[in-house]
Amino acid sequence: MGSKPFKIRAANDTQKYGVAAQDLNDLIAKGCKVLKVPIKGCKICLQQDGTLINSREFFQALPPLSVLVFLRKGEKWTGDDFGKMILSLLEAPEDPVRKQQLTESLEGMIAKESSPERVHALNLYLQSLPDNIDAETREEDPDWFEGLEKRYKTKSQVMACSAQGRIRGYYSKTKEYVSNLEDPVAKIILKRVLENFRPCLKNNGYHGDYFRRTAKPKKRLCTQAGWFVCHGPYNTKTCQDKHMINPYSSRQKRAVFSTWNLDHRVEKSRTILPSMQQAAVSCPKGKQLNWEYFYELLFTTDNLKLVEISCHKKEAHKGYECDEKKYYTSK
């Protein structure tokens, strides 16, 4: 068996070191040497939850680049905040503000260098949960609807509202951006654009079909059974890690799916909205702003990618710009 890479640290030091080991004994020997921890009485545990690595089978099951803590005799490790954050997210009430706070915290944790271990641990936990994928109504799967308003009768209805909430959020951010403009000309023109956006969004049901498994195949982002596949980071065609989830299967997976992101490849705040503003200011005579083009960028899968939390890159999306040739149409 070949060597497996890990990141190791001592309980009293946040500095991490890389080591590769063939088995548990090899890991203990190399880790203790690097960290200057006495082998006698040494124990190794997972950083995220404090689980002890004390068997050959457990060692073999560890994913590469797992972050491990070496404990001296008498030291204890109860884990970092990752497990607590997941639990808080799963048990959080249907309060969108609280959900957003927890989601952002979880994103920050997974975005750290130990993300492969964290994502792997989360996926293993999700796989251990019981599934009830085929059930659709509240009567068939009451646990799935726990904490939701009584008006929701089906899972597809709940998931559609989830998608709509995200699209409404993008519209609200756009409206807020326009409201804060100081240039009166740009403000007037973009208010007209908003007036075109609103009925179009209503006609499209605020794109609730993105998450509705009962929608037509071309409109939904999932299979008929409710499986969603991560599309990968903004600058890739697919997800190399093959992330998948079915939020229809359990309440917990529905909660975790809320951390998946509809990511703008051409970024909303950095690129689309400033470009709309500039296009409004520079609009030539005899032309009008092509609101349909900007609608597609802001609200449709022409520019949106569904990505698992670890594939959501917060960096600037270099090379992804608005197409100036599409800014205007004839009056």
Q: Has residue 111 been placed in a domain?
A: no
Residue 72 has pLDDT above 50, yes or no: yes
> Quick check: is 312 in a domain?
yes
Q: Classify residue 100: in a domain, yes or no.
A: no
* The pLDDT of residue 111 is above 50: no
Q: Which of 21, 39, 71 is at the close of a domain?
A: 71
In this prediction the pTM is 0.67
The residue to which tokens 């270099």 are assigned: 318
3-state secondary structure of 61: helix
Question: Once rounded to an integer, what is the mean pLDDT over residues 115-142?
Answer: 72
More confident position, 112 or 132: 132
| CATH assignment at residue 52 | 3.10.20.10
Three-state DSSP class for residue 190: helix
Give yes or no: residues 168 and 266 share one domain: yes
Check whether residue 280 and residue 211 sit in a common domain.
yes
Please check whether residues 67 and 133 belong to one and the same domain: no
**Mean pLDDT across the chain:** 86
Same-domain pairing of 9 and 143: no
Element (H, E) at 191: helix 184-203
Angle between helices 184-203 and 273-281 (to 10 degrees): 130
Identify the band that residue 66 occupies on the pLDDT scale cut at 50, 70 and 90.
confident
Does residue 117 form part of some domain? no
Pick the last residue of a domain from 71, 87, 113: 71
Rounded distance, CA 79 to CA 205, Å?
Answer: 44
312 to each of 5, 15, 124, 297, how far by Cα in Å?
Answer: 24, 26, 20, 18
191 is a domain residue = yes
298 found inside a domain: yes
Residues 167, 63 within the same domain: no
Per-residue pLDDT, averaged over 94-108, amounts to: 54
Task: Say what the pLDDT of residue 127 is.
Answer: 61
Given a contact cutoff of 8 angstroms between Cβ atoms, the answer to whether 122 and 167 are in contact is: no
Whether 308 is in a domain gets the answer: yes
Indicate whether 268 pLDDT > 90: yes
pLDDT at 240 over 60: yes
Does position 255 have pLDDT exceeding 80, yes or no? yes
170 and 307 housed in the same domain: yes
Domain, as residue range, for 317: 129-330
Of the candidates 71, 94, 111, which is a domain's last residue?
A: 71
- Measuring CA to CA, which residue among 40, 66, 44 is closest to residue 53? 44
Same structural domain, 194 and 265: yes
